[in-house]
Amino acid sequence: MYFKEIIGKDTIAEQLTNGVDRGRIPHAQIFLSKEGNGALATALAYAAYIMCENKTDGDSCGTCQPCKLTHKWIHPDVHFSFPVVRQGDKKRESTTSDDFLVKWRAMLEQNPFMSKNDWFDAINEHNSAPNINAKECNDIMHKLNMKAYQSDKKILIMWLPEYLGNEGNRLLKLIEEPTDNTFIILISENQDLILQTILSRCQLVKIPPFTSKDIVRYLHEKSNIQSDKALQIANLADGNLNLAIAISNNQAVDYSHLIISWLRVAYMNNPIEINQWIREIESLDKEEQKSFLEYGLHFFSQFNFRALTKTEKVNLTANEIEVANNMAKVIDVEKSAIICSIINDLLENIGRNINLKIALFADTLQIGKAIRPQA
Ligand SMILES: [Zn+2]
């Protein structure tokens, strides 16, 4: 992972690389950020930079011997720790991150911005609660107390220390009395769940969320998604790059078109047309149906915010604003709020095996009744 692959994080990258260049790397740090903000990716780029023997332009070179290893996440002196579950026939108490390294590297290769749920879905066949256990902590102590294999430095990257629970106490000595050239990077989404004793001994590095502009650029460069579409996704994702990637993978469908046709068939109140529209929704898979409803909720809440505050500072694309302007002729804030609540109910129920066809039909009639002029 290079810093240059993490769009929009130039300031934080500069801060971190400057520290390394001046020989001032804090012994223990917590990278704190909400999900999808790129904290893990930043730690990976940082570890590669620390280990690189030929640092250039504020990034690791990618070609020196350490880089060949760090960029594949196989450097023997860069250790990983993360929440895991029971695997195969092995007892949970003897299972550690090392048992999952192959999967871990494959997941990082696929998406270094992955969320904890992506990770848990990938490893959790038994549906048990993931955590970082006592054996893992003991192994970490052992690894970091050994002599480094290839480098003169050792790094531990621990993703989600909030899953340590009280086992975190086992690491206190390590964090308190560092061995030479050993650097610990904890990556957390929730500092309230980390033991205070650990928190107080680590330097806090806050990783800011991605801006909509960063996400648009990422989607454009990585997936060649056009700017209007990319902005629509970025607005929905609200700073979470992982969510933006997930939406872009799901969104072959133009949801704004489906919203407009929904209102049209609801307004016209023709059962044949309503059923045609429902068939279109039924042809989407479950994730797409959810994305469609989430999009609807986003659109109408922005529509309302705009109408109430008379501001143009909304998370809508130019195309959506045009739709909103046309819609404002028939739909006021009150009607839009009714639609929001209908969509909200649908979203809550869609995971509970409701009969979608019946629910959509009833909801479409209800929306029609709400938006047609009262006789
Ligand atoms: Zn290098």
Let me know: does 156 contact 81? Beta carbons within 8 Å.
yes
**Cα(336)–Cα(332) distance, rounded to whole angstroms?**
6
- Distance (Å) from CA 47 to ligand 1 centroid: 11
Question: For residue 293, which phi and psi values (nearest 5 degrees)?
Answer: -65, -40
Residue 22 C-beta-side C-alpha neighbours within 13 Å: 9
Give the residue ranges of the chain where pLDDT is below 50: none
| Distance between Cα 70 and ligand 1 center (Å) | 9
Return the closest-CA partner of residue 262 out of 291, 292, 240, 232: 292
Separation of CA 330 and ligand 1 centre (Å): 61
- Quote the ligand 1 centre to 18 CA distance (angstroms): 16
CA of 1 to the centre of ligand 1 (A): 11
Q: If DSSP codes are grouped into helix, strand and coil, which group holds residue 329?
A: coil
| pLDDT for position 236 | 79
Pairwise CA distance, residues 243 & 250, whole Å: 10
Distance 73 CA to ligand 1 centre (A): 13
- Ligand 1 center–CA 265 separation, angstroms: 60
Q: CA 128, CA 130: separation in Å to the nearest integer?
A: 6
C-alpha of residue 153 to centroid of ligand 1, in Å: 14
CA of 338 to the centre of ligand 1 (A): 57
**Per-residue pLDDT at 103:** 95
CA of 105 to the centre of ligand 1 (A): 19
Q: Report phi then psi at 13, rounded to 5.
A: -60, -40
State in Å: Cα 220 to ligand 1 middle: 28
State in Å: Cα 26 to ligand 1 middle: 21
Q: Are 8 and 211 in contact (CB under 8 A)?
A: yes
pLDDT tens-digit readout, 213-239: 999 999 999 888 888 888 888 887 888
Token look-up 């309230």 returns: 192
Helix (H, G, I), strand (E, B) or coil at 353: coil
- Ligand 1: distance of its center to the CA of 89 in Å? 40
The answer to whether residues 148 and 77 touch, using CB atoms and an 8 Å cutoff, is yes
- 152 CA to middle of ligand 1, Å? 15
Angstrom CA distances, 92 to 121, 160, 170, 243, 323, stand at: 18, 19, 18, 31, 54
Q: If you measure from the C-alpha of residue 60 to the centroid of ligand 1, how many angstroms do you get, rounded to a whole number?
A: 5
The Cα–Cα gap between 130 and 180 comes to 32
- Please give the distance, rounded to the nearest whole angstrom, from the Cα atom of residue 2 to the centre of ligand 1: 10
State in Å: Cα 49 to ligand 1 middle. Answer: 7
CB 44 within 8 A of CB 217: no
* Rounded distance from Cα 78 to ligand 1 centre (Å): 14
Structure confidence at residue 142 (pLDDT):
92
Per-residue DSSP letters for 139-194?
HHHHHHHSPPSSSS-EEEEEE-GGG-GGGGGGGHHHHHSPPTTEEEEEEES-GGGS
Distance 151 CA to ligand 1 centre (A): 12
Which one-letter DSSP state was computed for residue 374?
Answer: P
CA of 68 to the centre of ligand 1 (A): 7
Token output for 331: 């739909």
d(CA 172, CA 154): 17
Q: What phi-psi label fits residue 242: left (phi over 0), alpha (psi between -120 and 50 degrees) or beta? A: alpha
Q: 62 C-alpha to center of ligand 1: Å?
A: 5
Distance 50 CA to ligand 1 centre (A): 9
CA distance linking residue 189 with residue 38, whole number of Å: 11
Residue 221, SS3 per DSSP: helix
- 8: CA distance to ligand 1 center in Å? 22
End-to-end CA distance of the chain: give it in Å, rounded: 63
Q: What is the DSSP annotation of 206-227? A: EPPPPPHHHHHHHHHHHH---H
**Whole-angstrom Cα distance, residue 64 to residue 349?**
54
Cα–Cα dist 92/137, whole Å: 14
